[in-house]
Amino acid sequence: MSLLVIGTLAYDSIETAYDRRSEVLGGSATYFAAAASSFGPLDLVGVVGRDFKPEHREFLVRRGVDVAGLEVAHGETFRWSGRYEADWNTRHTLATHLNVLESFDPKIPERGRKSEFLFLANAEPRVQHKALDQVEHPKFVMADTMNLWIDIAKDSLLHLLRRVDAVVLNEEEARMLTGERSLLRAAGAVLGLGPRYVVLKKGEHGAFLISKDVHFSIPAYPVENVVDPTGAGDCFAGGFMGYLASQKKHDPATLRKAMVFGTVTASFCVEGFSVEGLSSRSRTDVDARYDELLSIVTV
């Protein structure tokens, strides 16, 4: 399939109410790739430091990720540490060290430039624009973002929204971006900012997709034992884009199925720290949970 992700690779240190991990593989591009690779090979563009471990590069390669666009820069890999409250809904960022990310200037290799499906994972909008500039004729581009960029780079982000087909946001981001308190109105207002499709992620409450002509809503898969929610949104996007790219289309019927696959890959993600929840899962596991999730919402 023809899918490219540009985003971050990180070493995360995470505390939950039940457990903790230090310096585990994370980052938006990592999580996306771990999920999307269930559907076929993809290309990854990002930057790491000299400290990035060979086993983590090998993990990506083993999942079918082409890492020709993974730059190794002087300095250290991006670090993030955070703590979750027992209800999982509150996350405290304890530290962020951008390190090599600070001066990241994405260079997309030849093959990636011809990608048909492109995911601009959460990054500074300037970097997202630069990546988008280099992809020649993408058929479907989805972007993610975060509250920080809405705060400090809103103009650049608004410009980006006019250049993409879809944007994926969580509740807080949608409200911040539009000033609308009602989630449905906020999502509608985001459509007015340019993208044809808006995917709203509601964590444990599922996700919905709206456009002028599609409205699709899916509850979260009922995970019995949440271990670590880090990366769930990126894994959602990975399942969503991975499925679209595997089908080579993005018509409404395919988008609906992609929402279900995204929900499934996000559910595997939260069942382990780092990429553990996904790395042991095969496409067969994904398909089985897809069927199970559909059975939960079918009358």
Q: Which member of 217, 247, 279, 285 binds a copy of itself (CB under 8 A)?
A: 217
**CA geometry: angle at 266 spanning 260 and 271, to 5°?**
130
- The yes or no reply on residue 223 touching a copy of itself (CB under 8 A) is yes
- Residue 204 is a binding residue for a copy of itself (CB under 8 A): yes
CB 121 within 8 A of CB 6: yes
What is the closest distance, in whole angstroms, from the C-beta atom of residue 215 to a copy of itself in the complex?
5
Is residue 256 within 8 Å of 262, Cβ to Cβ?
Answer: no
Tokens of 226: 């949440």
CB of 205 to a copy of itself, least distance (A): 4
Beta bridge partners of 141: 118
Segment interacting with a copy of itself (CB under 8 A) among 179-187, 230-238, 267-275, 280-288: 179-187
Residues in Cβ contact with 54 at an 8 Å cutoff, skipping those fewer than 6 apart:
none
The answer to the question of residue 97 lying near a copy of itself (CB under 8 A) is no
Interface with a copy of itself, residue 272, by CB under 8 A: no
Q: The tokens of 31 are what?
A: 């999580």
Would you say 181 or 212 has its CB closer to a copy of itself? 181
Q: Which stretch binds a copy of itself (CB under 8 A): 51-59, 76-84, 221-229, 274-282?
A: 221-229
For a copy of itself, the closer of residues 158 and 226 by Cβ is 226
> Is 169 among the residues that bind a copy of itself (CB under 8 A)?
no
Site size toward a copy of itself (CB under 8 A) is: 30
Nearer of residues 149 and 221 to a copy of itself, judged by Cβ: 221
Is 288 near a copy of itself (CB under 8 A)?
no
185 touching a copy of itself, by CB under 8 A: yes
Tokens found for residue 230: 């880090």
Q: Binding a copy of itself by CB under 8 A: which of 20, 92, 215, 283?
A: 215
- Chain residues in the site for a copy of itself (CB under 8 A): 86-87, 181-185, 202, 204-206, 208, 215-219, 222-224, 226, 253, 256-257, 260, 294, 296-299
